[in-house]
């Protein structure tokens, strides 16, 4: 289980901005968090596409931290949207644009991860069926009865953490 993330570690304040500089700093800091997350997501997507799943898995803790940061920041931005728009309209507009550009990249990443998961599941299922088929008896059982159907393979494990 992951340790709770301390909101004091956030690169921006979750409080309502009271000045143009606070609003601008919030937008810039959240934008930087989004850029860092975007870079990490693109790196993860490239690794998964290249079949380097173990390396992609090592990015997970940092990705989880950045997603939490991004989510908290966007919830705060939504909550204080009027103040941000009034105090720092250009910074708020840049944040909206950046968020709109972020969404398609996130969709691509999710599609790549979903495809990789499906491929891995299909491979494991195929191997399990092949191993189970090899265990099928081709002779009659005790008392002349027909053999039992294939048994589930022993020793096959599936890691669903992807």
| 25 located within any domain | yes
pLDDT at 125: 78
Per-residue pLDDT, averaged over 60-75, amounts to 91
| 64 located within any domain | yes
Three-class DSSP labels, the chain: CCCCCCHHHCCCCCCCCCCHHHHHHHHHHHHHHHHHHHHHHHHHHHHHHCCCHHHHHCCHHHHHHHHHHHHHHHHHHHHCHHHHHHHCHHHHHHHHHHHHHHHHHHHHHHHHHHHHHHHHHHHHHHHHHHHHHHCCCCCCCHHHCCCCCCCCCCCCCCCCCC
Considering its fold, how many domains does the chain have in total? Answer: 1
| 146 located within any domain | no
Domain hosting 34: range is: 19-120
Q: Kindly tell me if the per-residue pLDDT of 135 is higher than 90.
A: no
Q: What is the pLDDT of residues 69-109, one digit of tens each?
A: 999 999 999 999 999 999 999 999 999 999 898 888 888 88
| 139 located within any domain | no
| Whole-prediction pTM | 0.67
């Amino acid at each position: 289980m992951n340790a709770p993330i301390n909101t004091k570690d956030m690169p921006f304040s979750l409080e309502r901005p009271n000045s143009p500089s606070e609003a601008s700093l919030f937008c810039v800091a959240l934008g930087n968090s989004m850029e860092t997350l975007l870079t990490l997501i693109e790196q993860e997507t490239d690794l998964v596409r290249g079949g380097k799943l173990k390396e992609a898995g090592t990015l997970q803790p940092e990705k989880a931290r950045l997603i939490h940061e991004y989510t908290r920041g966007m919830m705060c931005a939504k909550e204080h949207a009027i103040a941000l728009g009034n105090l720092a309209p250009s910074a708020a507009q840049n944040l909206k644009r950046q968020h709109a550009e972020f969404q398609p990249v996130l969709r691509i990443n999710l599609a790549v991860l979903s495809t990789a998961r499906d491929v891995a599941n299909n491979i494991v299922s195929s191997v399990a069926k092949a191993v189970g088929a090899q265990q099928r008896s081709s002779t009659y059982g005790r008392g002349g009865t027909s053999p039992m159907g294939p048994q589930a393979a022993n020793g096959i494990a599936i890691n669903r953490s992807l």
